[in-house]
């Protein structure tokens, strides 16, 4: 991924910055698209994973739709060129302003997470003289077996409508004249690496869908969310996630009704492996028990290690000497500002260029300006 020429270009730039390899992104998109097409599945890219315009443009050109979680994401997706009818709007706390904006743009559907929200959408759609299409996000109580902070489909989570509330909701929905219920939506969590979890999800979705059919409600589209994990320890060897197995599970275990559309909202699996956080070593400091490689990127640029105890592979792109162990830390005034402990790196010195890998998803979008940090524009490369 890092040719000598690319490293030379990195050296000329102010660090830290995000680097995106558009060639890798295109290769990934090509693979997702071919497996999704094989089973006639639709992809809506989860914009929250990375909303940089050049990335969105690549994804839009591939013909995917957009899964948005704020009015600003909806507006950006439309601006970048996603057809309004390929935009979905999800989230537990959509405001009136955001709902009105989405109605004005004419998005495909709202993924709704409570009866209170449906009431408001009905009211606002009436004012706009429209019928709003909605999907119900249902909490299927399936354990995603991922980090607790990115699990979303358990009873204890704030997301979705609980199955116990469905009978009352279905009765009430009939009174909402400006709502058309056309779909069901599920998303149980992110960075899911145990594929059996998706099999369990399919079985639960089948049961729930049958319940709706028994109540005379036809489901035109099923949305299975995102969640496919990536291999953070092998960013090059496993650059493209196993979309084949993933889609095959849904093909095998999901009971699809005739003419039913099936959607996925993939984020991380599409964009994570094309992004790297590029940083410079500012100092190498000898500690009591360890050496610290202090780099100029911090939790302000990549929050995942501090927030989820995640590890992103760290490569020194400019030194090829013998390996030594370093605690790789950032400059922010927090002890959690650490990218990795006892990381084996070639002997590292001030000025070396470091790549923190697999940072294309939930990296740049989650950055902050804490400590009044500078921000440097992203750098895009392609072969």
Scanning residues 275 to 294, which ones bind ligand LLP (CB under 6 A)?
none
Measured from the CB atom, is 73 or 327 closer to ligand LLP?
73
- Per CB under 6 A, 187 contacts ligand LLP: yes
C-beta of 16 vs 241, nearer to ligand LLP = 241
> Smaller CB distance to ligand LLP: residue 111 or 318?
111
Among 12-20, 185-193, 344-352, 368-376, the segment contacting ligand LLP (CB under 6 A):
185-193
Chain residues 354-383 in contact with ligand LLP, contact rule CB under 6 A: 361-362
CB 221 within 8 A of CB 260: yes
Output the 3-class SS for 31-59.
HHHHHHHHCCEEEEEEHHHCCCHHHHHHH
One residue of 225, 275, 298, 330 binding ligand LLP per CB under 6 A:
225
Q: Which stretch binds ligand LLP (CB under 6 A): 50-58, 75-83, 174-182, 221-229?
A: 221-229
Site track 298-317 with ligand LLP (rule: CB under 6 A), x = hit: ------x---x---------
C-beta closer to ligand LLP: residue 269 or 318: 269
Decide: helix, strand or coil at residue 180. Answer: strand
Kindly tell me which residue out of 132, 150, 239, 314 binds ligand LLP, with binding defined by CB under 6 A.
150
| Residue 274 burial (10 A CB sphere; 0-12, 13-18, 19+) | buried
With CB under 6 A as the contact rule, the residue among 140, 227, 241, 360 that binds ligand LLP is 227
Residue among 342, 330, 348 nearest 16 (CA): 330
333 is catalytic: yes
Classified as helix, coil or strand, 65 is strand
Which of the residues 31 through 70 are near ligand LLP (CB under 6 A)? 46, 49, 67
d(CA 280, CA 349): 10
* Selection from 35, 36, 42 nearest residue 220 by Cα: 42
* Nearest distance, CB of residue 9 and ligand LLP, angstroms: 27
d(CA 42, CA 64): 7
Residues that bind ligand LLP (rule: CB under 6 A) add up to a total of 21
CA separation (Å) from 28 to 189, 352, 381?
21, 30, 15
- What is the DSSP code string of 335-363? TT-EEEEEEEEE---TT-EEEE-S-TTTT
**Contact set for ligand LLP, span 84-113 (CB under 6 A):** 90
Q: List, in order, residues 6 or more apart from 44 with CB less than 8 Å away.
A: 64, 65, 66, 67, 86, 88, 223, 263, 264, 265
User: Binding mask 256-275 vs ligand LLP (x if CB under 6 A, - otherwise)?
Assistant: ---------xxxxx------
Judge whether 135 and 175 are in contact, CB under 8 Å.
Answer: no
Q: Could you say which of 68, 112, 202, 333 is catalytic?
A: 333
Distance CA 144, CA 264 (A): 16
**Among residues 76 and 128, whose Cβ is nearest to ligand LLP?**
76
Interface region with ligand LLP, contact rule CB under 6 A, candidates 160-168, 187-195, 203-211, 252-260? 187-195
Stretch that binds ligand LLP, among 8-16, 219-227, 273-281, 372-380 (CB under 6 A): 219-227
Query: What gap in Å lies between CA 215 and CA 210, rounded to an integer?
Result: 9
CA distance 183 to 119: 17
Report the residue number, 146 or 316, with the smaller CB distance to ligand LLP. 146
In terms of CB distance, is 47 or 355 closer to ligand LLP?
47
Give the Å distances, CA to CA, from 246 to 31, 209, 226, 360. Answer: 12, 21, 11, 21
Residues serving a catalytic function are: 333
Contacting positions for ligand LLP (CB under 6 A): 46, 49, 67, 90, 150, 187, 190-191, 225-228, 265-269, 304, 308, 361-362
């Amino acid at each position: 991924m890092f040719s000598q020429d690319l490293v030379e270009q990195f050296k000329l730039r102010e660090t830290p910055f995000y680097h995106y390899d558009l060639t890798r992104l295109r290769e990934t998109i090509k693979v997702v698209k071919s497996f999704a097409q094989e089973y006639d599945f639709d992809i809506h890219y989860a914009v929250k994973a990375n909303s940089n315009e050049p990335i969105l443009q690549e994804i839009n050109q591939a013909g995917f739709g957009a899964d948005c979680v704020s009015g600003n994401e909806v507006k950006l997706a439309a601006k970048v060129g996603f057809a309004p009818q390929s935009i979905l709007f999800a989230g537990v706390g959509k405001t009136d302003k955001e709902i009105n904006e989405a109605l004005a743009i004419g998005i495909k559907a709202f993924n709704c997470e409570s009866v209170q929200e449906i009431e408001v959408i009905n009211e606002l759609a009436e004012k706009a003289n429209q019928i709003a299409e909605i999907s119900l996000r249902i909490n299927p109580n399936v354990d995603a077996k991922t980090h607790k902070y990115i699990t979303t489909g358990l009873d204890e989570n704030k997301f979705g409508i609980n199955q116990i509330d469905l009978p009352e909701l279905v009765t009430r929905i009939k009174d909402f004249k400006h709502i058309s219920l056309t779909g069901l939506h599920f998303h149980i969590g992110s960075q899911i690496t145990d594929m059996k979890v998706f099999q369990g999800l399919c079985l639960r979705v089948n049961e729930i869908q049958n319940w709706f059919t028994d109540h005379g409600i036809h489901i035109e589209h099923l949305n299975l969310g995102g969640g496919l994990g990536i291999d953070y320890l092998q960013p090059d060897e496993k650059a493209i996630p196993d979309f084949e197995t993933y889609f095959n599970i849904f093909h095998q275990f999901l009971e699809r009704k005739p003419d039913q559309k099936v959607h996925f909202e993939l984020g991380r699996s599409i964009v994570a492996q094309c992004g790297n956080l590029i940083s410079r070593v500012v100092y190498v400091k000898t500690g009591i028990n360890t050496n610290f490689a202090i780099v100029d990127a911090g939790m302000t640029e990549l929050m995942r290690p501090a927030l989820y105890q995640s590890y992103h592979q760290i490569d020194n792109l400019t030194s090829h000497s013998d390996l030594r162990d370093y605690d790789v830390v950032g400059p922010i005034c927090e002890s959690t500002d650490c990218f990795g402990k006892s990381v084996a790196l070639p002997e590292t010195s001030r000025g070396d260029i470091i790549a923190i890998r697999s940072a294309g998803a939930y990296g740049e979008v989650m950055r902050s300006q804490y400590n009044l940090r500078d921000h440097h524009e992203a750098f895009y490369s392609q072969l």
